[in-house]
Amino acid sequence: MRIGVLLDRLDPTAGGAEAHTDALVRRMLVRGLEVRVAHLVGTPPPGATSVPLGRVPVMRPARDRHLAVVGERALRDAGCDVVFAVRHALACDVYLPHGGLVADAYAARDASRGGAGFLSRLAAGLSRKRRFFLRAEQALLSNRAGPRVVAVSRALAMRIASVYPAARGRVTVVPNGVDTDRFRRVTGPEAAAARLATRAAVGVPADAYVGLLLAHEPWLKGFGTLLAALARDDARARLPGFHLVVAGRRTDGALRRAVARAGVGDRVRLAGPVDDPRPLYAAADVVVQPTWFDPCSLTCLEALAMGVPVVTTQRNGASELMGLRADPDLRRVTGDDARYQAMKTRLVTRLDQVIDVCLGPAAPAKAVVREVDDEGPPADPSLAAGMR
């Protein structure tokens, strides 16, 4: 079978959707499927083939529309039996809205910065990019005859069913998965030395209690909340050794100015973008992500897999996969518990479940088979019982 993949940007370091799609394509190839990719930027994994898109417009949203229309047609012309899309799609067979619903994502971004003022709301109403994304979402979800939909959390599935009732019966929940071989806790003298070296490199004391916020959109993922907490009058007394490390692409001047205004520059370090987050996870005592919106955070799952406890909100779909550990008596075992939670949602298991949704009736008939210590739930077709 030949599967077409529609995604604007092929760069696994660019964000969660890109990383997940890169892993998915690689898994499709391992399973012996042919893969064709329609994209604007980047290079597909070895073994997958790009399809030509002709002359691509420079400006948005014409560029986005070109990918949606010409990209889908090019994949059909290339003989693809199934077209899988993450965004920038007006038609496809399987749709995985990794970033959630368009209106929810934009509303959360506004709320994370204190709400949208009049000018911001006016600009949003005039934004052709935003209107295109909303129209594309409606084209895929508003009709009963639309594509099969993969939701990365039950919360997202319920939200889709609420906003787009016609899509209710074609939603399958497949949480994000984590590579528990790559992201694993390492112990011993060398690991301890590396932990200290990473702390020194980012400028935090060796004996500090380190919270890590790793996000390409730090405001959306709760940077403002963390800053307000650190700026409280009683924060130094209650958290005398706490230091916050913020890493990601957008740790720019705006964040530095916000830290300076809050008067907590001695306790916040902006580490910038990182190619490999594992050293930062290993150097942290806790990952803090009080996010305003995240359908299912890969960062949280990676941290859990490395045995690092996570503090997040119920607006994060990954919270559905986490145990609640507020009892101080249980804190001593939270590292082991974190790893246990991550092992429930292994990457290969979840990728195979997404692929089976793509294959539809052609998916191999088999009982649910889990890896030895993979206790995660299988994909949940339609969620019909939970959404009535």
Q: Are residues 114 and 218 both part of a single domain?
A: no
pTM of the full structure: 0.86
- Which burial class, exposed, middle or buried, applies to 122 when counting CB atoms under 10 A from its CB (0-12, 13-18, 19+)? exposed
| Maximum Cα interatomic distance, the chain, rounded to a whole number of Å | 65
Contact 102, 34 (CB under 8 A): no
Q: Are residues 373 and 304 both part of a single domain?
A: no
Residue 183: inside a domain = no
Residue 184: inside a domain = no
Residue 182: inside a domain = no
Q: Peptide bond before 61: cis, by omega within 30 degrees of 0? A: yes
Range of the domain at 22: 2-177+347-387
Run of H or E residues at 9? strand 9-10
At residue 329, the pLDDT reads: 55
Q: Are residues 322 and 370 both part of a single domain?
A: no
At residue 264, the pLDDT reads: 94
Residue 109: inside a domain = yes
Residue 272: inside a domain = yes
At residue 333, the pLDDT reads: 55
Q: What are phi and psi of 355, to 5 degrees?
A: -60, -40
At residue 130, the pLDDT reads: 87
Instruction: Domain count for the chain, please give it.
Output: 2
Residue 328: inside a domain = yes
Q: Are residues 80 and 228 both part of a single domain?
A: no
At residue 388, the pLDDT reads: 37
Q: Are residues 199 and 63 both part of a single domain?
A: no
| Residue-wise DSSP of 190-229 | HHHHHHHHHHHHHT--TT-EEEEEE-SSTTTTTHHHHHHH
Q: Are residues 197 and 338 both part of a single domain?
A: yes
Q: Are residues 196 and 268 both part of a single domain?
A: yes
CB-based contacts of 28, cutoff 8 Å, min separation 6 = 3, 35, 355
Question: Residue 158 maps to which CATH number?
Answer: 3.40.50.2000
| Torsion, Cα of 88, 91, 97, 101 (10° steps) | 80
Q: Are residues 57 and 146 both part of a single domain?
A: yes
At residue 127, the pLDDT reads: 77
Which tokens is 189 given? 């003298």
Residue 21: inside a domain = yes
Residue 321: inside a domain = yes
Q: Are residues 139 and 198 both part of a single domain?
A: no
Q: Are residues 149 and 264 both part of a single domain?
A: no
Q: Are residues 216 and 154 both part of a single domain?
A: no
pLDDT in single tens digits along all 388 residues of the chain? 999 999 999 998 888 899 999 999 999 999 999 999 999 999 999 999 999 999 999 888 899 999 999 999 999 999 999 999 998 899 999 999 999 999 999 899 888 887 656 556 656 666 788 889 999 999 999 998 899 999 999 999 999 999 999 999 999 999 999 998 999 988 899 999 999 999 999 999 999 999 999 999 999 999 999 999 999 989 888 888 999 999 998 777 889 999 999 999 999 999 999 989 999 999 999 999 999 999 999 999 999 999 898 999 999 999 888 765 555 555 455 566 667 777 778 899 999 999 999 998 766 655 443 333 343 444 444 343 344 3
- Interstrand relation of 49-50 and 82-85 (parallel, antiparallel or unpaired): unpaired
Distances (CA, A) of 85 to 26, 91, 93, 329, 354: 16, 9, 8, 45, 12
Q: Are residues 323 and 197 both part of a single domain?
A: yes
At residue 208, the pLDDT reads: 95
Question: To which residue do tokens 């004391």 refer?
Answer: 205
CA–CA separation, 226 and 211 (whole Å)? 10
